[in-house]
Structure 1
C-alpha cells in the first residue's frame, strides 16, 4: 500500500450537543492538525518530549489544555508563578515552531438551531467541512497515497458513529466527491501522541476567538499563522470555516 507524506491529528473544543446550549460556550470546534510525516518525526515529536523532560524529568505526562489552564494533576507545578511563566513561554515557543497546517470548522450552535427547523449534528457538519478542506490541501500539494486521520478514542458507540459518518463523507457525501485516499484510525490517550496533544492545545484558542472575535486573544495570535490559506492569504473559508 502507498502512503501519503501527510498525517492528520484531530481534536475538538466544546460539545456538539444541541439540547442544552451553554450561552458562555455555544461553539463547537473541530480541528485538523496536518503534518508532513518527516517534519512531525524529526521536529514535532522531539520538541514535545524535550518540553516534558524539562518540567517533569520524563515524557509520560500528557499535555492537556484544560488541566494546564486549571493547574490540575501533573500541572500542579504551575501553581508556582515563576514555573508557570516559564512553562507558558516554552509552550508558546513550541506552538510557534510547530510544523503544522491547521484546518478547523466552528459551528455556532445557538445560531444553528435558530436558523434551521431541523438542525443537523454539529460534529457531522464540522467533519464534512474539515475533510473537504483537507482533500483540497492534499490536492494542492499533489499528495498521493493513503492519508490517515487520527482521532482519540471516546467510547465504543461514539467511535462507531464517527467512523460511520466518516465513511459516508469519504464515499461521496460532500461537495468534492469520493475521497478514497482518506482513512480514519482511533488512538487511546495512553498512546501519548504528540500530534493529538497539539490538536488539543490548538483547538481551545480557536473556539475562544470564534466566540469573542473582538476580545484580545494572544493564544489565537500564535495559532492564526498556522491556518491553511488561499493564494491571497485568506483564512476564512480556507483554513477556518465558521457555520452558519
Structure 2
C-alpha cells in the first residue's frame, strides 16, 4: 500500500527576510495511506460541492481566513458556522498523520550565519520523520512526497536535494532505509487542485500560530493536534514537531 506525504509551508523560507510579526518558517507534511487518502479526497470534494457548487475551488488558508474571493460566503456567520462544523468532521475523522518542521529564523541566522536553506533543511527532516512514522515494514518506493510547484529553478534544486538524500542517506537514516521512498519528488500546480496539498496548507498556519502565540486559543490546531506524529508517550516535540535549529 502506497503512502503519500503532501507538503506545504507557511511563512517566508528566506531567513534573511526577518518579519517581527511572523519570524518563523513552517514546513508541514500530511501523511495518508492511499486508501485513507481516497476517502478523505472524496469527502473534501463533497464539502466543496456542498458550499461552492463545484469541486474546482482551491482551499487556501489566507483567502479563507480573510474571506476573500469565493470565500466571501463566510461573511455570512451561519454559513461559516455550518462550514466549520462540516470541515471539523473531516479534520477529526479522517485517517492521517502530521509532521512539521518549525524554523526560528533569528536562531537560524545566529547558528548558520552563512547559510539560507530553511526549506531544504526542513524537507530533509520531513523525509526522515515520514519514514519513521509509517515504519519500515513496507516495500521499496512506498513513500511518495508531493510538493506544490514553485518554478523551474527552485523545483530543480529541490529535486536535486531529494535525489542526494535518498542516494546517500542522512545522519539519521541510511541509504538502505531511504529505499522506502519513491525516487521521484512529485510537484503539482494549484491548477491541478490537489486536496492533500490544500489540507497541508490548512494545517501549517495553525501550527505556526500555536508556536508564535501559545497562550491564544487556536481552534483549528485543536482539531488535529492528536494527529501529530508522536512517540508512545505522546511526545510530539522531536517526533512530529521538529524545532530547528
Question: TM-score category by the smaller chain?
Answer: over 0.9
Aligned match of 1:49 in 45, 49, 53? 45
Aligned pair 1:165/2:164, yes or no?
no
Distance 1:173 1:212, change over 3 A: farther
- Kindly indicate whether residue 76 of structure 2 is the aligned counterpart of residue 80 of structure 1: yes
Distance in 1, Cα, partners of 2:224 & 2:104: 20
Q: Does 1:126 align with 2:127?
A: no
Give the Å deviation of 1:173.
Answer: 4.7
Asked if 1:144 corresponds to 2:143, the answer is no
Unaligned runs of 5+ in 2: none
**Structure 1 spans left out of the alignment, 5+ residues:** none
SS in structure 2 opposite 1:148? strand
Match of 1:66 in 2: 62
Rounded to whole Å, the distance in 1 between the matches of 2:227 and 2:123 is 19
SS at match of 2:64: helix
User: Is 1:153 aligned to residue 149 of structure 2?
Assistant: yes
Tell me by how many angstroms 1:120 deviates. Answer: 4.2
In 2: Cα distance, 1:95 partner to 1:186 partner = 24
Deviations 1:157-176 (A, max 9, x none): 11111111111222225221
Deviation at 1:56, TM superposition (A): 1.3
**Does residue 27 of the first structure (1) align with residue 16 of the second (2)?**
no
**How many angstroms does 1:21 deviate by?**
0.7
Deviation at 1:111, TM superposition (A): 1.7
1: CA distance between counterparts of 2:170 and 2:212?
A: 27
Q: 1:120 to 1:19 in 2, by over 3 A?
A: closer
> Aligned runs of 1:78-227 on 2, under 5 Å?
78-140=74-136, 142-146=137-141, 147-175=143-171, 176-178=173-175, 179-183=178-182, 184-227=185-228
* 2-structure distance, mates of 1:117, 1:17: 13
Q: Distance in 1 between matches of 2:17 and 2:191?
A: 31
Q: What do residues 177-225 of structure 1 show as CA deviations (whole Å, max 9, x unaligned)?
A: 2213323111111111121111111111111112222322121111211
8 Å contact from structure 1 (residues 101, 227) kept in 2: yes
